[in-house]
């Protein structure tokens, strides 16, 4: 048997379906708003560092003075600098079979950029055919990635890398952990402590957001050139060009 549905019942069903559509649209709008808020959050407190130069009485105590960064000195470490054109824009601390590259950038006064930068790095690595996971690690939200690279024998492979970052007052500090500290994050405790105890010197001059904070060599540095100058690469591309060995400062301690 077939029965006729009354108009009232049909109208109620239609109203219910329309309400579901509206709820779905509202949910998508809420998701987009949450995503915008996540990207544009103000810098969070940094009770354990990294530090702004105004927060440390003597930044040079126990640290290597690189101008825009004061990097903690650790027994047995090597400190390498990364060059873009004529400017030194990053420093890499090598400790046994692990390394962390440190690079500081100018940022808006009241707006953190690490959420936005994570998205850009992740998208870049994914487009290259890599794999990216966003996780909450010891230094906050980070990216753990497998990045396509060419192996010495010419075949393709993957390099495991961790991208960490912290927003500060008008600056952003990014760290790129490679080697054993990326493959086994539990082995990266000392590298993570170096990142936390780094001091950023933003300066008072005007800088556009994302401009790199330029570094300098220590007065007593001894340069060991690698013979091939590193090519300048995109500041936030997530590519491995920024992980290539640069000029080396011999053991600092």
67 and 171, same domain (yes or no): yes
35 and 81, same domain (yes or no): no
Mean pLDDT (whole number) for 178-188: 94
- The number of domains in the chain is 2
| Alpha carbons 61 and 209: distance in angstroms, whole number | 29
Region for 227 from its dihedrals, namely left if φ exceeds 0, alpha if ψ lies in -120 to 50, beta otherwise = left
Tell me the pLDDT tens digit for each residue of 83-122: 888 888 899 999 999 999 999 999 998 889 999 999 999 9
Using a pLDDT cut of 90, give the percent of the chain over it: 54
Using a pLDDT cut of 70, give the percent of the chain over it: 70
Answer whether residue 45 is part of any domain: no
Q: Please give the pLDDT value at position 217.
A: 87
111 and 172, same domain (yes or no): yes
Mean pLDDT (whole number) for 128-155: 94
Mean pLDDT (whole number) for 172-178: 97
182 Cβ contact list (under 8 Å, min separation 6): 98, 144, 160, 161, 162, 188
115 and 173, same domain (yes or no): yes
Mean pLDDT (whole number) for 244-248: 38
How does residue 232 score in pLDDT terms, banded at 50, 70 and 90?
very low
Q: Please give the pLDDT value at position 239.
A: 32
Q: Please give the pLDDT value at position 222.
A: 59
Answer whether residue 240 is part of any domain: yes
67 and 174, same domain (yes or no): yes
Q: Please give the pLDDT value at position 226.
A: 56
24 and 118, same domain (yes or no): no
CATH, residue 198: 3.40.1000
164 and 245, same domain (yes or no): yes
Q: Please give the pLDDT value at position 131.
A: 96
134 and 96, same domain (yes or no): yes
Mean pLDDT (whole number) for 219-241: 46
The answer to whether residues 241 and 90 touch, using CB atoms and an 8 Å cutoff, is: no
176 and 237, same domain (yes or no): yes
19-33, 55-69, 217-231 — most confident range: 55-69
Mean pLDDT (whole number) for 4-27: 49
Between these two residues, 31 and 187, which has the higher pLDDT value? 187
Answer whether residue 171 is part of any domain: yes
Answer whether residue 44 is part of any domain: no
Q: Please give the pLDDT value at position 16.
A: 54
14: its two tokens: 């239609």
Q: Give the containing element (helix H, strand E) for 122.
A: helix 114-127
126 and 222, same domain (yes or no): yes
31 and 64, same domain (yes or no): no
Mean pLDDT (whole number) for 227-235: 40
94 and 19, same domain (yes or no): no
How does residue 168 score in pLDDT terms, banded at 50, 70 and 90?
very high
Range of the domain at 171: 51-249
Answer whether residue 89 is part of any domain: yes
Backbone angles phi, psi at 93, to 5 degrees: -95, 120
pLDDT for residue 135 is more than 90:
yes
Answer whether residue 2 is part of any domain: yes
Give one DSSP letter per residue of 10-67, joined into a string: HHHHHHHHHHHHHHHHHHHHHHHHHHHHHHTPPPPP-TT--EEGGG-S-TTTTEEE-S
129: its two tokens: 């055919």
Averaged pLDDT of the chain: 79
Answer whether residue 46 is part of any domain: no
3-class SS at 106? Answer: strand
Answer whether residue 109 is part of any domain: yes
Tell me the pLDDT tens digit for each residue of 29-86: 455 554 444 555 666 777 888 999 999 999 999 999 999 999 999 889 999 998 888 8
Q: Please give the pLDDT value at position 111.
A: 86
């Amino acid at each position: 048997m077939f029965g006729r549905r009354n108009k009232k019942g049909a109208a109620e069903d239609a109203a219910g379906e329309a309400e579901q559509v509206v709820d779905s649209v509202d949910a998508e709008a809420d998701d987009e708003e949450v995503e915008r808020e996540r990207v544009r959050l103000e810098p969070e407190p940094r009770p354990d560092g990294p530090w702004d130069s105004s927060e440390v009485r003597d930044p040079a105590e126990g640290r290597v003075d690189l101008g825009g960064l004061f990097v903690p000195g650790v027994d047995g470490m090597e400190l390498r600098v990364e060059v873009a054109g004529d400017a030194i824009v990053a420093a890499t601390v090598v400790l046994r079979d692990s390394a962390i590259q440190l690079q500081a950038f100018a940022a808006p006064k009241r707006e953190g950029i690490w959420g936005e930068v994570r998205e850009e790095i992740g998208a870049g690595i994914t487009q290259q055919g890599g794999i990216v996971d966003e996780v909450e690690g010891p230094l906050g939200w980070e990216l753990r990635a497998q990045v396509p690279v060419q192996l010495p024998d010419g075949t393709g492979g993957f390099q495991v890398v961790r991208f960490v970052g912290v927003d500060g007052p008008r600056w952003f500090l990014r760290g790129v952990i490679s080697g054993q500290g990326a493959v086994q994050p539990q082995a990266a405790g000392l590298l993570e402590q170096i990142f936390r105890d780094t001091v950023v010197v933003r300066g008072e001059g005007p800088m556009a957001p994302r401009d790199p904070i330029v570094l300098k060599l220590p007065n007593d540095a001894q340069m060991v050139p690698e013979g091939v100058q590193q090519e300048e690469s995109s500041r936030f591309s997530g590519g491995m060009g920024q992980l290539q060995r640069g000029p080396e400062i011999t053991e600092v301690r």
